Each structure stands twice: as C-alpha cells, then as structure tokens.
Structure 1
C-alpha cells in the first residue's frame, strides 16, 4: 500500500512539474521581452536580483549563490558596475573584503524588473480565484529564489530595524 501511494505521489509530482515547466517555457517570450525592454541579459537580471542597496554581498557569497566560479561572478558584477547599477566597496570589518551593493540606478532598474517579471501573464489571470489561491498556497511551500515576496521583504526590513 505504501509503495503504491509513493508511486502515485511520484507520478502526480512528475505531471505537475511537467505542466509547470511547460507553462514557464511557453511564457518565456514574455520574460525575454521584459529583459529586452530593460536592455538586460538573463545573467544581469539574476545579478540584480541578488543585490540590494543596504547590505553588501561578497563576491564569494555571490559565486556560491550562483553556483559559479569567482571569475564568472566578477564578470557579472563588472557588467552591472559598468552600467552604473552596482558598486564595490570595502567591508567595514575587513578592508580587504569587497562588498557589492546596488546603486540608486540599480535599485530603480531592479524595481522595474521585478514589477515587469512578476506581473502575472494573461494565461494565469484566466484562472478562477480559487485555483489561483490553491496554486499560490502550493507554491508557497516550495523553496524560493533570491527575491523574497514583497510582503516578506517588508517584514524582513521591519525585523532588521528592530534589532
């Protein structure tokens, strides 16, 4: 009985993943148009998503998050730095360590990118509210990427201010 339940769960998970993957692939053109409009590459977008204005990130931490070597992380940050989206500065604790933060221009571009990328596609808006709630609640149980949900980000800022 337990084997059959595991097998059914695996089959349903595979079908759910295929449908999610197909939807992401089908709507890729919309994301590509957003990046084109903002003159960003997918790597630029990922880099923007990993940075903020307030807290610097070390190159080592960025390379670890992106699962790349240090030279690739440097290349990605260099691209944003040349466009005025990011800057490197010394860590107050250790001047040898460089921290990467967003510039005001980078933060503005990041906000525009988030707004455009996170606008639901028409296909999603065609679903009933109950289906959207179920989809949202199921997706909330999965690990998320570098950009926290707006409400979670605001809560994180409140907690940081209190401590």
Structure 2
C-alpha cells in the first residue's frame, strides 16, 4: 500500500510541476515585456532582487547565491553600477571588504520591477478565490527566492515552525 501511495504522489507531483512549468512558460512574454519596459536583462533583474539599500552584500555572498564565479558576479554588479542602480562601498568592520548596496535609483527601479513582475497575470485572476487560496497556501510551503512577499515570507515561517 505504501508503494502505491508513493507512486501516486510522484505522479501527482509530476503533473502539478508540468502544469506550473507550462503556466510559467506560457506567461514568459509578460515577464519579458516588463524587463523590456524597464530596459533590464534577466540578470539585471536577478541582481536587483538580491540587493537592498540598507544592508550591503559582499561579492562572495552574491556569487554564492547566484551559483556563479566571482568574475560573473562582478560583471553583473558592474552593469548595475554603470546605470546608477548599485554602488560599492567599504565595510565598516573591514575596509578591505567591499559591500554592494542599491542606490535610491536602484531601489526605485527594484520597486517598479517587483510591482510589475508580481502583478498577477489575467489567467490567474480568472480563477475562483477558493482556488487562488488553495494555490497560495500550497505555494507558501515551497522554498522562495530572493523576493518573498512580506506576508508570504511570514506565513512560510509559520508553516516551517508547525512542521
């Protein structure tokens, strides 16, 4: 019986993932238009998502998060720095360490990017509220990226504490 349940769970998970993947692929044009409107590449968007104005990040930490080498992380930060979205500064604890933060212009662009990327597509808005709640609750149990919504992040922490 346990083998049958595992097989069914794996089949349902595969079907759910295929449908999520298909939906993400189907709505990719909407995300591409957002990036085009803001004159950003996917790499720029990811870099913006990893930075904030208040707390600097080291290049090493960024490279680790992005799973890339130091030269790629440097190239990505250089792109944002040239556009006035990010800046490097010395760490107050160790002046040899450089920290990357968003500039006010970068924070404004990040906010515009978040608002546009996280606006639900029409296909999602066509679902009933009960279905949206079930989808939200199931998705809240999954790991999130660098941009969790504040309430979703708090809910995820509550779910993790309960399990």
TM-score, length basis structure 2: 0.93
Q: 1:141 to 1:156 in 2, by over 3 A?
A: closer
CA distance in 2, matches of 1:70, 1:154: 32
Q: Report the count of equivalent residues.
A: 163
Distance apart, 1:147 and its partner CA: 0.7
Please, which runs of 5 or more residues in structure 1 have no aligned partner?
none
Runs of 4+ with deviation above 6 angstroms: 153-163
Which secondary structure state, in structure 2, belongs to the residue aligned with residue 55 of structure 1?
Answer: coil
- The CA deviation string for residues 104-155 of structure 1, in whole angstroms up to 9 with x for no partner, is 0000000000000000000000000000000000000000000121336799
TM-score, length basis structure 1: 0.93
CA distance in 1, matches of 2:107, 2:71: 24
Q: 1:7 to 1:155 in 2, by over 3 A?
A: closer
Q: 1:150 to 1:74 in 2, by over 3 A?
A: same
Please, which runs of 5 or more residues in structure 2 have no aligned partner?
none
Distance apart, 1:156 and its partner CA: 13
On the 8 A contact 2:141/2:156 being kept in 1, the answer is no
CA distance in 1, matches of 2:159, 2:141: 22
Query: 2:123 aligns to what?
Result: 123
Q: 1:150 to 1:123 in 2, by over 3 A?
A: same
On the 8 A contact 2:89/2:99 being kept in 1, the answer is yes
